[in-house]
């Protein structure tokens, strides 16, 4: 379904001083899906929270009339995803297969998909342990991570595609 460019944003735009604290409050235009932990920008690479991936795709009217059910398959997700199609919530997925039935929400022509992916706090803790990083207060009592620790996969890896089969 979605073979076009994606946009990526964080959910922390309302917080003050977001850049100094390392919150993700940016829009990025992506030619393809990326995992947050693979991003060059450390603000994205070490992000913890919910990141929204959005794209628009055209749907043929024939597809809607011939398929009894249509599923949006998200491919690989790290860790939990909420799926909105045309601004309607169509489900939350937290395990494989990461797919939701979208037949009743799809419409002929352009459809906007937003996939909100929430990850764990581990990558943020690893980011806070990097040299020359402004760390947030660790009020939850979480154990500090080694600066060389491996990052967990985080975000939407895909591929995102429309399927007629559950």
Q: What is the CATH number of the domain that holds 34?
A: 2.60.120.260
State pLDDT tens for residues 93-146.
Answer: 999 999 999 999 999 999 999 999 999 999 988 988 887 665 554 445 555 556
Residue 88 is assigned to a structural domain of this protein: yes
State pLDDT tens for residues 15-74.
Answer: 444 443 345 556 688 999 999 999 988 888 998 889 999 999 999 999 999 988 999 999
Q: Domain of 65?
A: 6-163
Residue 1 is assigned to a structural domain of this protein: no
Residue 16 is assigned to a structural domain of this protein: yes
Q: Whole-prediction pTM value?
A: 0.84
Where are any strands of DSSP class E within 28-165? 28-30, 50-59, 71-73, 76-78, 80-85, 88-93, 99-101, 109-118, 155-158, 161-163
Number of domains forming the structure of the chain:
1
Residue 11 is assigned to a structural domain of this protein: yes
Residue 103 is assigned to a structural domain of this protein: yes
């Amino acid at each position: 379904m979605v073979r076009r460019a994606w946009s990526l944003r964080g959910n922390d735009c309302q917080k003050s001083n977001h850049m100094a604290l390392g919150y993700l409050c940016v829009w990025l235009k992506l030619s393809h899906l990326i995992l947050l932990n693979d991003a060059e920008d450390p603000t994205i690479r070490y992000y913890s929270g919910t990141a929204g991936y959005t794209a628009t795709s055209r749907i043929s009217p024939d597809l809607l009339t011939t398929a009894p059910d249509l599923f949006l398959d998200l491919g690989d997700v790290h860790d939990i995803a909420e799926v909105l199609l045309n601004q309607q919530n169509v489900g939350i997925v937290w395990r494989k297969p990461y797919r939701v039935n979208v037949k009743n929400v799809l419409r002929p022509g352009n459809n906007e998909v937003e996939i909100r992916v929430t990850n764990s706090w581990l990558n943020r803790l690893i980011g806070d342990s990097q040299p020359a990083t402004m760390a947030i207060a660790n009020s939850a009592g979480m154990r500090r991570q080694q600066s060389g620790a491996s990052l967990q996969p985080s975000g939407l890896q895909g591929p995102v595609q429309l399927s007629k089969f559950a």
